[in-house]
Structure 1
Amino acid sequence: MFIKDYISKDFPCFSLSDSIESARDMLEDFGYSHVFVKKSHHFYGAIAQDFLYEEEGTLKDLEHQIERFAILDDNNIMDSIRLFYTFNANVIPVINKAEKYLGYISCEDIFQDLSKYPLFSESGAILTIETPARKYSMTEIANIVESNNSKFYGAFISSMSDDAIQVTIKISNENLSSIDETFDRYDYRIVEKYYSDEKADLFKDRFGFLQKFIEI
């Protein structure tokens, strides 16, 4: 799951002396949200699509619109999700520690890879449960699920404060009523739940989980 295993190299990094028109044409060919810019052979930043339609000239004229974001090639793909969300991007530049542009990763590639994991690929039930922060234990949550003969596919913290923690979990569809009762008995409050065993809902299921990851 390292970034270096997902790098594509067919999207160039422009120089400030390149024309806005050439960058715009390349962006339209690929359908990405940003173009990338280098300066003195080092990665400089990214310019969002909308700014490329505001004026003509060279990318130097848009230097004040450059956003500084990139990901290192030795990072994990999970590190990229916050960048996709924060910069409203569907593509992220990849650099090395010397700030040399190596290529890019796309949101589509990362999504397709994540969707292969049971957390996303298996149909099942999604629950968001809340517990006081002082008694939070992922081990206990997993034990509650598994003690009711259901499979625990994965979980993440979806909300956290000094008083309470909310955890979103993905489990198989067995014994859901019993699981609800056990959580209640252990003083967990079920905030949201979505039960489905229909394959037709699988894509929605995956996308909802990815959105929750992005919002963290």
Structure 2
Amino acid sequence: MIAKELISIHIPSISFKDDGEKALRVMDENRVSHIAVVDNGEYHGLISDNEIYDLDDTFVPLDQVKPVLIKLFVQPFDHIYDILTVFAENNITALPVLNEDDQYLGVIGLEQIIKALYKMTNSKEPGGVIVMALNVRDYSMAQVAQIVESEGAKILSAFTRTSDDSLKMELILKINQSDLSRIMSSFERYNYEIMASFHESVHEEDLKRRYEQFIKYLNI
């Protein structure tokens, strides 16, 4: 996913002619702590709610109080990974998108980011999650996929997490099967360290089926 696909159709911008009270109202209505300041398509920067709270008078137009603006933006074809980096490193809740001529196109809110990640991770698809620890130098996605597919399953999404002071990494897999016992056993045979799993075992599914049959019997 890229920036132009994530632009919110709901979050408006404000102008320097607006006062702090309007900015706070727009933020509150859209559940963000930052809003873009734009005049005639020219983007000036983001203003935060904290900056407005520090103003001596929030009823005065912004061009008269000269607030400190945050000059952050992305371009239409920037990837969501780059967008996430800007969000995380700057602790912002909205991020403007500018074209190659520096014209303001709109803003990306946290809601759009969450929805995009929801789609990317296949969260709505049924299945289970396996979390493993392994040495960075031993990581091979080809081998991981081969092990999963040898058990008749597919990887729906995969993410890694590493730290600068460690030679190990964490691998999180979303699998299209709820019963992960055979897959985890296969990983353990290849000396993968299973840290956690989130799934329904065959036993749990059998208990659920028996319970549903029992309730159905009582309702006859």
- Residue 128 of structure 1 corresponds to 131
Indicate if the aligned counterparts of 2:16 and 2:38 stay in contact, CA closer than 8 A.
Answer: yes
Calculate the TM-score normalised by the size of structure 1: 0.76
What amino acid sits opposite 1:155 in the alignment?
A
- Residue 163 of structure 1 corresponds to 167
Task: Number of aligned residue pairs: give it.
Answer: 197
How does 1:72-151 map onto structure 2 within 5 Å? Answer: 72-117=75-120, 119-151=122-154
Q: How large is the Cα RMSD of the aligned pairs?
A: 2.8
Indicate if the aligned counterparts of 1:51 and 1:62 stay in contact, CA closer than 8 A.
Answer: no
Calculate the TM-score normalised by the size of structure 2: 0.75
Match of 1:192 among 196, 210, 220: 196
CA distance in 2: counterparts of 1:47 and 1:109, whole angstroms: 20
CA distance in 1: counterparts of 2:49 and 2:183, whole angstroms: 48
Structure whose CA Rg is larger: 2
State the Cα distance separating 1:35 from its structure 2 match. Answer: 1.3
CA distance in 2: counterparts of 1:83 and 1:196, whole angstroms: 37
CA distance in 2: counterparts of 1:84 and 1:196, whole angstroms: 35
Could you give the per-residue CA deviations for residues 114-163 of structure 1, whole angstroms, max 9, x where no partner exists? 43456212122212212222221011111111111222111011225562
Tell me, which stretches of 5 or more residues in structure 1 are unaligned? 199-216
CA distance in 2: counterparts of 1:37 and 1:19, whole angstroms: 11
What amino acid sits opposite 1:35 in the alignment?
I
State the Cα distance separating 1:49 from its structure 2 match. Answer: 1.9
- Residue 176 of structure 2 corresponds to 172
- Residue 186 of structure 2 corresponds to 182
CA distance in 2: counterparts of 1:35 and 1:174, whole angstroms: 42
Give % identity.
28
State the Cα distance separating 1:6 from its structure 2 match. Answer: 3.3
User: Residue 5 in 1 paired to residue 8 in 2?
Assistant: no
Q: 1:54 to 1:118 in 2, by over 3 A?
A: closer
